[in-house]
Chains A and B, each alone.
Chain A
Amino acid sequence: GAGVSQTPSNKVTEKGKYVELRCDPISGHTALYWYRQSLGQGPEFLIYFQGTGAADDSGLPNDRFFAVRPEGSVSTLKIQRTERGDSAVYLCASSLDIRQGLDEQFFGPGTRLTVL
C-alpha cells in the first residue's frame, strides 16, 4: 500500500514569503507528526495531531509556524514570513492509533525547503 507522501519534494522561496507544505498520511492512520531536520542533525519534533486536533504543538519554534489537519487526514504545515534559518527538510510521519499502542511512526520522504 501507499506510504506517507509529501509535496512538494523541493521548495525554494525568498525570504519573507509564505509557504505551505503538504502531507498525505497512510490511509487510516489517526496520528500525524511533523518534524524538522536541519543539515547534519537529527529530526526535531514540531507538532502532533490526533485526528483533527493539534494535541501537542510544543515544538513549533514561533508563531510564524502553523499546521492544520481539517478532516483528520491530509495535513498542511504553513510558514509565514520565511527566514533563511527555516531552511531544512520537513518530515511528516503517521501512526495507526497511539491510544491503542499502535504507535510505530512511518516517515515520508520529506520536503526540502530552501529560503534564499
Chain B
Amino acid sequence: GNSVTQMEGPVTLSEEAFLTINCTYTATGYPSLFWYVQYPGEGLQLLLKATKADDKGSNKGFEATYRKETTSFHLEKGSVQVSDSAVYFCALSLYSSASKIIFGSGTRLSIRP
C-alpha cells in the first residue's frame, strides 16, 4: 500500500543550527510529495511540494528534493529560527487515488534561542 515514514521526534535544536527531517515513502505509481507544517494553535499549512522526480520544493528557507531512486523527500533548512518551532508532516498524494493525502505521523521541532 501507499505510506509515508518520517523521523520520529521530538527534535530539539539551537537557533541557527542545520535541520534535516528524514522522510521516505512507498507508493504505487508516481506520487506528488509534500511537507505540511502545523504551528502551535494554527491549522495545517502546505510548506512545500514536488510533483516529479528530481524536483526541488522550497519555501521560507526550507528545501526538499524528490528522490525517486531512494524514495525519499527529506526536509532541510540551513539555519533554523525559534519561529520554526512546529510539527512537520511529510505526505504524498496520488492523482489515481483522487489526490487524497497520506500523511506521516509528524515530527515535532523545537528551537532553543
Contacts and interface: CB of A to CB of B under 8 A. Distances in A.
Contacts of A110: 43
Nearest to B89: A42
B32 to A, nearest CB: 8
Interface of A: 31, 33, 35, 40-45, 48, 50, 55-56, 59, 91, 93, 95, 98, 101, 103-105, 107-110
Contacts of A93: 101
Given A33-B100, A40-B106, A42-B103, A103 B93 contact: yes
Given A42-B105, A98-B95, A91 B100 contact: no
B45 A45 contact: no
A103 B101 CA distance: 11
B110 to A, nearest CB: 15
Contacts, number: 55
A48 B100 contact: yes
Contacts of A56: 97-98, 100
Interface of B: 4, 42-46, 49, 89, 91, 93, 95, 97-106
Contacts of B102: 45
Contacts of A98: 95, 98-99
Contacts of B49: 104
A91 B113 CA distance: 32
A105 B105 contact: no
B103 A107 contact: no
Contacts of B4: 42
Contact of A107 (B43, B93, B97): B43
- Report the 5 A-B pairs with minimum CB-CB distance, sorted nearest first: A42-B103, A107-B44, A109-B43, A103-B99, A45-B100
